[in-house]
Amino acid sequence: MELQRVVKFEAERDPEFVRWITQTVGGERIRHCLQCGLCSGSCPLSLYMDYTPRRLMHLSREGFKEEVLSSYTIWLCTCCYACMVECPKKINITHMMYALKTRAIREHFYPKRFAIPVLAREFSRMIRGSGRITESRLVMRVFFKTAAWRLLGFSKLGLQLMRTGRMRLGREKVEHRADIVTLLNAVDEMKKELAR
C-alpha cells in the first residue's frame, strides 16, 4: 500500500496563474462558478478526464497551476461548447480551455511525442509557410513526429481516400504568402507592445 501525504499549503498556490486566468478572455466570470457540475455532466469527453471540467475551473481559480496544466482534461476537450450552452452562470468555459491548452503548449506541460501539441505546432507551421492546410501532408507530418508506426494502420483509409480523389498531395497555398508572415509577425509585435 503506497501511502501519499497530501495537504496543500498556500505557498503552493500561484497568484500569477490566478491573475492570468481571471483576466483571460472568458475568465472574467470564473469566480461565479457554483460548482454545480452541469458542465461535466454535459461534456461528452468528461468520462475520460482525470479532473472534470468543473474541478478544473475550481483548481484554476484557486491557483493550482501544476495540477491544471498537467491534467488530461485540457487535451481531451474538443471545444464543442456543450458546457457553455448549459452553464447556468454563463461562464466561458470553452475559451478558458483554449487558454489553458495554449499555455500548456507554451510551457511544455505535456508528455514527449504527445500528438496534440505536435499537431498544433505543425498546423501553425504549415499556415505560416503556405497560408492553407493540405490535410494529407499535415497528417503525415504529425504521425512522423509522434508514432510513425501508426500510419500503417491508416494505410487502408489512405488508399480509400486516394481512390475517391479526396487526398490532395499537391501543396495548397495562397498567392500572397509573405502577407501571412507579415500578418502573424505584426500580431506578435503588438502583443509585446501591450505587455509593456
Partner 1 sequence: MPDARNGGSAPAAKIGVYVCHCGTNIAGTVDVRALTEYAAGLPDVAVAREYRYMCSDPGQELIRRDIKDCGLNRIVVASCSPLMHEPTFRGALIQAGINPFLLQMVNIREHVSWVHTSKQEATTKAKDLVRAAVRRVRLHQPLEKRRVEINPSVLVVGGGIAGIHAALNIANSGKHVYLVERQPTIGGHMAYFDKTFPTLDCAACILTPKMTAVGSHRNITLWTYAEVAAVEGYVGNYKVKVRHKPRYILDDLCIGCQECVEACIYKEGRWADEFNFGLSKRKPIYLPFPQAVPQKVLIDPEACIEFKSHKCKKTCVEACGERKAIDFNQRESFDEIEVGSIIIATGFKTFDASRNVYYGYGKYKNVYTSLEIERLINASGPTGGEIVLSDGGKPKMVGIVHCVGSRDHNTNRWCSKVCCMYSLKLAHLIRERTGAEVYNFYIDMRTPGKGYEEFYDRLLDEGVHFVRGRVAEVTDWPVHPSEKGKLIIRAEDTLAGFVRRIPVDMVVLSVGLEPQADARDVRRLFNISCSEEGWFLERHPKLAPVSTFTDGVFIAGACQGPKDIPDSVAQAGAAAAEAMALADAKYVELEPYTAHVIDEACSGCKTCLTICPYTAISFVEETKTARVNEVLCKGCGTCVATCPSASIEQNMFEDQEIFEEVEGLLAYA
Partner 2 sequence: MKYAYYPGCSLKGTGRAYEESLLAVLRVLDVEVEELRDWNCCGATTYMSFDELQSYALAARNLSMAKQAGHDLMAPCAACYLVLNKTQYYVRDYSWIGAIVEHALDAIDLPKDISAKVRHPLDILLNDVGLDSIRAKVVYPLRGLKVAPYYGCQLVRPYALFDSQRNPTSMDRVLEACGAQIVYYPVKTQCCGGSQKGTLPEVGLDLIRHLLAEAQRNGAEVISTVCPLCQFNLEAFEEQASNAHQFHFPVLYFTQLLAVAFGVPLTDAGFQRSFVSIKPILAQREIAYA
Question: Cα 139 to chain center, whole Å?
Answer: 18
Among 12, 124, 144, 159, binds partner 2 (CB under 8 A): 124
Q: Which residues of 18-50 are buried (b: 16+ CB within 10 A; e: fewer)?
A: bebbeebebbeebeebeeeebbbebbebbeebe
Does residue number 103 form part of the binding site for partner 1 (CB under 8 A)? Answer: no
Q: Could you give the string, one character per residue 4-33, with x where binding to partner 2 holds by CB under 8 A and - elsewhere?
A: ---------------------x--------
* Locus of grid cell 454545480: 36
Cα angle 99, 80, 120 (rounded to 5 degrees) comes to: 50
Sign, Cα dihedral of 156, 161, 164, 169: negative
Nine cell digits for residue 150: 501508426
> 151 touches which of partner 2, partner 1, none (CB within 5 to 8 A by kind)?
none
Nine cell digits for residue 64: 493550482
Does residue number 80 form part of the binding site for partner 1 (CB under 8 A)? Answer: no
Residues forming contacts to partner 2 in the complex (CB under 8 A) are 25, 44-45, 48, 75-76, 78-82, 84-85, 94, 98-99, 101-102, 105, 115-116, 119-121, 123-124, 127, 131-136, 139, 142, 157, 160-161, 164-168, 172, 174-176, 179-180, 182-191, 194
Residues forming contacts to partner 1 in the complex (CB under 8 A) are 34-42, 46-47, 52, 54-55, 86-90
